[in-house]
A and B are shown apart, each in its own frame.
Chain A
Amino acid sequence: MESTTQRSDVGTALGSYEQAREWIGRRSELRLTDVAVDESRCKLFAALSEDGNPAYWDRQWATAQFGAPLAPSGMTMSLIMSLPWKPGGAPPAPASLALDVPLPGQTFINVDTDCEFLRPIHWGDHFSVYEEIVDISPEKKTRLGRGHFVTTCMNLLDTQGRPVARLTNVLYRYETPAS
């Protein structure tokens, strides 16, 4: 069924609002993220904001304080991103289940996030993630175009199955005036 779904050039599934409503409450499979948290990703992310927090940079100090250096909490949402290519040709997992919801909107923009952190994330941690469609709005009109707000909730679990973070996200799936 999924293979027949029409998709936009950025991978969003296309369909009607009536089809989309059937997705409310749907939950993705539990998925192990592609790689564990590592030093280079954490430092590159900290460099983006010029964040000199020693929890991310001073290995000795951070190990004494936290047991291991930490990942910036701000990068949590990036930890669920998939590699753009892997051997075997399997397509990367979508960044969000919201992109798999059949809707008229080809493109999207993120509009709202609510992130709850239950424990620190260390270098070397590896997560599994699942996501649920919480809500899909009726059609709205914004300055960007007509579309639907899709609310999802993503849960990150560590290798022992303990919840680490819960990310509630609202993404606007819309049609541009030109489309």
Chain B
Amino acid sequence: MSATAIYPQRLWSEVKVGDLLPPIELLVEYSRIILNASSTWDYFPGHHNPEYARAQGQANIYVSTIFFHGFVDRLITDWGGPSSFICRRRMRMVASVHPGDTMRADGHVLRHYRDDSGHGLVDLEIRIDTARGLCVPASATVRLPLAHGERLFSLE
């Protein structure tokens, strides 16, 4: 693509409370968990050594927090568009994701407002599930452009 490419971008004014974010899914194979370790430089053995993970009380090796960060952020920017800016993201890891699991993320718009600077913000409620149930409840605050072509940050 080129500098003239046009990618879909959601504007703040196009969003309303209750809007659903299209769900995303990802199969977590062994190879993806190894990619998790290599792409994040997180070589803690619970993420690549089944024997260590089981000694920790886990069923098997498991994906890392940073993977969850990336997966949730993909859900947000797939929905919002590439000029969305994630201002804040909170999450809790309440259950692990292991090889063979399929992770599914979905979410909805909880709040739609402007801050004191006039920025267009939305608060999102998000969750990641596997077939066993909820793994990661999360929330995020995202800034969206007010108009097409608006730069949220000046070029430096």
List chain A positions with a Cβ less than 8 A from chain B. 10, 41, 44-51, 53-55, 58, 60-67, 72-78, 81-84, 95, 107, 109-117, 119-120, 143-145, 176-178
B65–A145 touching, CB < 8 Å: no
Pick from B3, B41, B69, B77: contact of A81, CB under 8 Å? B41
Task: Judge whether B156 is part of the interface by a CB distance below 8 angstroms.
Answer: yes
A-B contact pairs, 25 of them (CB 8 A): A44-B35, A51-B74, A53-B74, A53-B77, A53-B82, A54-B7, A55-B77, A61-B5, A63-B3, A66-B155, A72-B73, A74-B66, A74-B71, A74-B73, A78-B39, A84-B43, A95-B42, A107-B55, A109-B46, A110-B64, A112-B90, A112-B91, A113-B69, A117-B87, A117-B88
Pick from B40, B56, B74, B92: contact of A107, CB under 8 Å? B56
Nearest-Cβ distance from residue A121 to partner chain B, whole angstroms: 11
- Range for the number of chain B residues in contact with chain A: 35 or more
Task: Judge whether B85 is part of the interface by a CB distance below 8 angstroms.
Answer: yes
Interface centre among B35, B56, B86, B90, by most chain A C-beta atoms within 10 angstroms, is B56
B74–A66 touching, CB < 8 Å: no
- Given A74-B66, A77-B65; A45-B39 close (CB under 8 Å): yes
Task: Judge whether B131 is part of the interface by a CB distance below 8 angstroms.
Answer: no
10 closest A-B pairs (Cβ-Cβ)? A74-B70, A81-B41, A74-B69, A78-B40, A51-B74, A74-B73, A67-B155, A64-B3, A44-B39, A49-B70
- Given A54-B5, A77-B66, A111-B92; A144-B87 close (CB under 8 Å): no
Q: Of all chain A residues, which has the CB nearest B82? A: A55
A45-B70, A49-B71, A110-B64 known; 10 new pairs, CB 8 Å cut-off, are A10-B44, A45-B40, A51-B77, A61-B2, A67-B155, A74-B66, A74-B72, A112-B92, A120-B153, A178-B55
